[in-house]
Structure formats: structure tokens, C-alpha cells
Amino acid sequence: MGIRRPRTETTTRTTPAGVEYLVNKNGFPVVHCGRCGGSGDYSFNPMDGTTCFGCHGSAFQTPAGLPSQLATEWSNAVRAAKQVNTAAYWSPVTREITCEVQVGDQVAHHGDKEWSTVAGVRITRRITGSAFVGLNPDGSPTLHTLTLESWLTYADGRRERGGYLLRRRPDVAALHALRDDLAARARAAYEERLDRKVRAHR
């Protein structure tokens, strides 16, 4: 079965010329899906059931042209931010090197579906010195402090003493700023289009 998206939540906005239109929760203009007419359902097929493939069941689409391009830019940025950007070794005992894991990092074990947010890092035993873990682009060695024993506490209260973890560090503030900028540009382009139509009919 195709993935069915939840129905888009919308709010109403008004252009300078007084035309009402809808925006999604990220502030991008949306219109009712032209294929299903805004129901999210279309005729049954064995792949997707009745989920409309014009909107994947969300009932809305982004208006074509610049608004759509900017919305795509936003979803690409979100996808990029969700990419794993660093592998972190987290060792409770002696065998492996612990790379720096910081409060706020999101970590997961291989195969996990969910990421956990690190709320606390407690190092219970540390040795001084460094270990060679790789080469920098300029040929110099990357060194990391060795940690012998440490605990992670997650935002949901779980604690963990070790394992091989993947780490990612989304810059949430930068993402929000990008979203707001792209959405504002998408609305401006769409409002201009709507108002041009209104003026043409006056």
C-alpha cells in the first residue's frame, strides 16, 4: 500500500486585495488537490487502496510555480537535516573509543526507527590522552579523548550505558528560520498571483 499522509491542517489568510487562501502549518500556501477535489480519496486501485496519489491522502497540494519550488526546497532541507551526519562510538568499557556525544544530540542504534534526544551525559571514569581515529582532509590525525565509562540519559528518562550509536545534530533554529523565509516568499508570490487575478476582473 502507498503511504497515506495525514490530512493537511490549514489556516486561512487574506491577501492585501482581500482574497482568502489557505496555508499549511508551516505557512506555505496550499490549494485543494485537483485530482480528488480535496477529499484525499480517489478510485480504488490495488497499490494505494483509495488514497489519492495527487496528494497522498493529504487533500491539499502546493500551488504550482514558485510556491511549489519553495516548498520543495523546504522538504529537501528537512530531509538533509534528518540525514545521519556522524557516527558515534559509545563504549561503557575499554574496547571502543567514545566520540563526543553532547546534550541535545539525537542518537539511535542501528535498526532503530526512532531517534532519542540526549538529555544528559555522565562520564564516570576517564583516562587522559588521545586516540587516533582517522585523518583530516589536510592529512593531520583526528584525535579523540578516550573515555572508559559513561552513561547517557535520554529526554524520555531512559538511561543507557553504551553501545554503538549513530548521531545526528539537526540545527533546529536554522531550520525554523529557513522555513519561515521560504514560506514568506511562497505566500508573497501566491498573494501577488491571486491579487493580479482579482484586479483583472475589476
Residues that bind Zn ion (CB under 5 A): 33, 35-36, 52, 54-55
Query: In angstroms, what is the minimal distance from the CB of 24 to Zn ion?
Result: 14
Provide the minimum distance between the beta carbon of 138 and Zn ion in the complex, in angstroms, as a whole number: 52
Query: Among residues 36 and 70, whose Cβ is nearest to Zn ion?
Result: 36
> Considering the complex, what minimum distance in angstroms separates the CB of residue 20 from Zn ion?
21
Q: Which whole-number Å values give the CA distances from 102 to 12, 23, 120, 146, 153, in the listed order?
A: 40, 36, 8, 15, 11
Residue placing its CB nearer to Zn ion in the complex, 75 or 130: 75
Cβ at position 42, least distance to Zn ion in Å = 6
Give the gyration radius of the chain's Cα atoms: 24
Name residues whose C-beta falls within 8 Å of residue 194's C-beta, 6 or more positions apart in sequence: 15, 17, 19, 21
- DSSP 8-state code for residue 5: P
Residue closer to Zn ion (CB basis): 61 or 147: 61
Nearer to Zn ion by Cβ, of 15 and 39: the residue is 39
Q: How, if at all, do strands 141-154 and 41-45 pair? A: unpaired
